[in-house]
Amino acid sequence: MDFNQRDYFFQMQQMRQMPYSWMYPYQDLYMSEMETERDLQYLQQMYPADAKRMQKKVEEACDRLDYEGSMMYDEYPDRVSMLLMCDRIAEELRREDAEKQALDEARAPEEEMAEEPMQAMHAGRPGPPPPPPFDPGRRSLLEVLLYNEMYKRRCRRRQCRRFW
């Protein structure tokens, strides 16, 4: 082998060895996704108590739908199904609120004893109207939380498919 061939052979071997950053251009993508997830969890801790309860119920509902072929991963999820899912979550929250209210009423018999004279004065009048079943503002927040959670899971699934 003469000098030129040896030099050419050495250059070809050098070209095969690419820098690490060129071979794996997405090396920081996993770490940035972890940072984003950690940041989101921190910000979700600052949610008001009612929104935290809703978020927890939404996550539980999405966990039940987290399987291959689920409507959550359809290209275009059905709006009616999404609204029915919101209705189910709202019903769970309404039921929990009713249970909590019943417990609070059971715990406060002493307060009722103090209010008996007041009730005698208002005996002929009907009580205040019951609150609406589920406030429209809370319902809208519930829908937004559900759609956001579904978006996160769909993105996460797409990311995983790309790398695995």
Cα radius of gyration rounded to whole Å, the chain:
29
> What proportion of the chain, given as a percentage, has pLDDT over 90?
34
Residue 19 gets which letter from DSSP?
Answer: -
Q: Which of 31, 50, 7 is nearest to 141 (CA)?
A: 50
What is the predicted pLDDT for the residue at 126? 60
The residue that leads in pLDDT, 157 or 43, is 43
DSSP secondary structure letters along 120-134: HHTTTS--PPPPPSS
The residue that leads in pLDDT, 20 or 42, is 42
**Cβ(58)–Cβ(145) below 8 Å:** yes
Instruction: Work out the pLDDT band at 164, boundaries 50, 70, 90.
Output: very low
**Cβ(94)–Cβ(133) below 8 Å:** yes
Over range 108-125, report the average pLDDT: 57
Distance CA 112, CA 96 (A): 23
Interval 135-145: pLDDT, tens:
888 999 999 99
- Whether residue 102 has pLDDT greater than 90: no
90-94: long-range pairs with CB below 8 Å, 24+: 90/134, 90/138, 90/139, 90/142, 92/57, 93/53, 93/54, 93/57, 93/134, 93/142, 94/133, 94/134
**60, amino acid identity:** E
